[in-house]
Amino acid sequence: MTQPPQPPPRPPHEPPGGEPPQDTPPGFGPHAPRGGSGTPPPPAAGPGTDEGTGTGKGTPPPAPATPPAPPGAPGTPPPSAGFGPPPTPPTPSAPAQPAYGTPHPAPAPAYGAPHPGPAQGGQAAYGYPHPAPPYATAPYTQQGYGAGQPPTAPKGRRPGPVFWIIGATVLVIALIVGGGVWYANSGTDETPVAKDKDDKKDKDGKDDGTGTDDPAAGPAKEKAPADPSARQLFSVPMIYTGAGSRVYELPGSWLTDKVYAKTGLSEINGYDAVAGNRVWNLKLPGPVCSASGFQSDEGLTAVLHKSARPTKDDGGQCDRITVFDVRTGKTVWTKGVGSGEGSAVFTEVTVGGGTVAAGGSRGGYGWDLESGDQVWSPKPGDECYDVGYQGGSGGLAVIRKCTINTDQDQLSVQKLDPKDGSVSSEYKMPPGIDFAHILSVSPLVVGADVNEAAEDGSGISDFFSIDGRTGKLRARWPADAKTYGASCDAVAVSGCANFAVGGDRLYVPTEEHQGKKEAYSRTNEIVAFDLATGKLTGQRLDAGEDWELRPLRMDGPRLLAYRAGPYDQGSQVVSVDTRTMKTEVLLKTPDDRRSGSTIRHFVHEFSEILFGNGRLYFGQTMPEEEKKPVAPEEGVPYLALSFGGTH
């Protein structure tokens, strides 16, 4: 895939979140946008493309100096090129010109060829923050695409095709005709068969050992309409900050049955979920730095923001937590720890089990979600500290770091009691891990870059499935970042995207790779890992030629996925039967190219995508500095965009 440009640089000596440099841990800085689609831009004219078939608490030790800021400059997220035939190859004397704002794609190597190195420069393709909350089907529903988290690390995916290598065996793929299901056999004589979570229980229905505290997922709530065709419901204008602005990100979007809320410039706005008119406005003293990917059953969620607007000389600190009601926009409480230079600076925030938890380089704090009463804080003199937390319906979990010696730290994954922060279970991560990321609390799933093996910037070289009750490791397995598309911010505990967890399975997309039709055809798949064994289940959902799949979230026992269409066809949201991997189309955007071009401004790996009540919402996580002329065929850059049924 084409390497996206790096995020805007921080001014010299400016630590992330405005924290004093001497207290800044290594790696905390703006995220670099990860790679987007490497597909060439659509031709100006030509034949259509055939459619194919996705805590303990403590005070941390002194931290090292701030790392160098990544290169690059803030810019407008360009529209994704999308899938489809490329322009006719030009002669050497007449190079083809891509659409305005579209990065010049490098020639794609043949499938299986070595990956070229990352491209440099260009405009940013997408915002830094981590995944956003999906439409809430239950309290603290698992997040899907979108919502903000701390900036991504200064790395990105390298472009190129996907290597399909599993161990030393040859991957044998058989297509089950008509079902849209691929079964992959990794050198075994036995055809893998999908198992339901109930299959892991004994005859007496005893616990299956997953360490999951959640009640049953319940039935799916999203139903396929007779006609999934959708129209544009409303749009929210792009925010232009002006040249030299030190506001680089706008993380956070939330959805209820009646309100779609989106972070603005030092504010959050609520819009009627159908009509799009603004129904409430919440002013903040400074811009949002991080947004919780979860909201309670009562519609409460939390954001981390600065206590003042940035100026030319002062970028400000991410030192305030505000809890608000997504339904009404009313502030429930606002808190900070300390004041002035002595205030605690945080990097991310989450909500789970009725508690708000925020972590940073000086440790973590917890507050009651409704009252704002402090539940825990770092213990003076403790050489361990809470780096960051993950929340959701399963409660809270934390990544805790302890200093062993000057050259070594020990990371632990702890399941917490949200009411007091006490540790209910603990798993010590193996050596060679500087940062770990919690994908899911219940079941407890962690991703980590072991010995910096994930060279593409995905932040994941290995997955860990942990029993949340006992802290024992259930399974660990490698995840080749050149093969699988799940990704995590380099330093954010809860900053992961492109995955879904349900039914004791982890669903991830494969990287985009060359399809079967023509040399320029691109596609990918969604595959499932069994959390009990770490092995592929054999289930495989194919995107189809010129299409791309990404998991959004679970809907009861079903998987919701976003299926990006080629340049001349609309995109889809599909509901996947996780037993058979057969799909139902829940929504389809218009086929006209202008709509498609506008949607492609929201490169989904770098934006917030929410789906609920049959409606689809896109949100950008980066503002633009200045408004630029855009040709009609390039679509319109919006801050947010919504589609819903025409019936």
| Interval 356-386: pLDDT, tens | 999 987 889 999 999 999 999 998 888 899 9
Among 20-34, 370-384, 513-527, the minimum mean pLDDT is found in: 20-34
Amino acid 180: pLDDT: 34
Distances (CA, A) of 378 to 26, 60, 360: 20, 8, 11
pLDDT tens figures, 539-552: 999 999 999 999 99
* Selection from 84, 271, 225, 178 nearest residue 588 by Cα: 225
Residue 199, phi then psi, degrees to nearest 5: -65, -20
Length of the chain: 647
Amino acid 605: pLDDT: 64
Q: Are 456 and 484 in contact (CB under 8 A)?
A: no
Is residue 388 predicted with pLDDT exceeding 60? yes
Percent of the chain surpassing pLDDT 70: 66
pLDDT tens figures, 183-207: 333 333 332 333 333 344 433 334 4
Task: Quote the CA–CA distance of 604 and 608 in Å, as a whole number.
Answer: 7
Amino acid 362: pLDDT: 81
Q: Are 54 and 551 in contact (CB under 8 A)?
A: yes
Distances (CA, A) of 487 to 46, 294, 407, 434, 617: 35, 19, 27, 16, 21
Task: Quote the CA–CA distance of 115 and 158 in Å, as a whole number.
Answer: 7
Sign, CA torsion 219/220/225/226: negative
When the pLDDT of each residue in the chain is averaged and rounded to a whole number, the result is 75
pLDDT tens figures, 277-301: 999 999 999 999 999 989 999 999 9
DSSP readout, 219-263?
Answer: -------S--BEEEEEEEEPPB--TT--------EEE-SSEEEEE
72-85 average pLDDT score = 41
Amino acid 630: pLDDT: 84
Amino acid 334: pLDDT: 97
Q: Are 358 and 320 in contact (CB under 8 A)?
A: no
Q: Which residues contact 633 (CB under 8 A, 6 or more apart)?
A: 44, 99, 593, 594, 597
Q: Are 68 and 30 in contact (CB under 8 A)?
A: no
pLDDT tens figures, 598-635: 998 887 666 899 999 999 999 999 999 999 888 877 88
Higher pLDDT, 624 or 6: 624
Amino acid 535: pLDDT: 98
Task: Quote the CA–CA distance of 307 and 290 in Å, as a whole number.
Answer: 13
556-560 average pLDDT score = 98
Task: Quote the CA–CA distance of 330 and 325 in Å, as a whole number.
Answer: 5
Higher pLDDT, 175 or 551: 551
- Name residue, tokens 């400074």: 286
Task: Quote the CA–CA distance of 76 and 321 in Å, as a whole number.
Answer: 28
pLDDT tens figures, 422-465: 999 999 999 889 999 999 999 999 999 998 888 777 889 999 99
CB-count exposure of residue 342 (10 Å: 0-12, 13-18, 19+): exposed
Percent of the chain surpassing pLDDT 90: 52
Amino acid 604: pLDDT: 64
Is residue 267 predicted with pLDDT exceeding 70? yes
* Selection from 456, 599, 465, 577 nearest residue 526 by Cα: 577
Res. 352 pLDDT band, cuts 50 70 90: very high
Task: Quote the CA–CA distance of 543 and 311 in Å, as a whole number.
Answer: 46
User: Per the omega criterion (within 30 degrees of 0), is the bond before 443 cis?
Assistant: yes
* Chain-centre distance for alpha carbon 8: 19
Measured at the CA of 30, the angle between CA 243 and CA 280, to 5 degrees, comes to 70
Q: Are 346 and 360 in contact (CB under 8 A)?
A: yes
Is residue 400 predicted with pLDDT exceeding 90? yes
Higher pLDDT, 142 or 363: 363
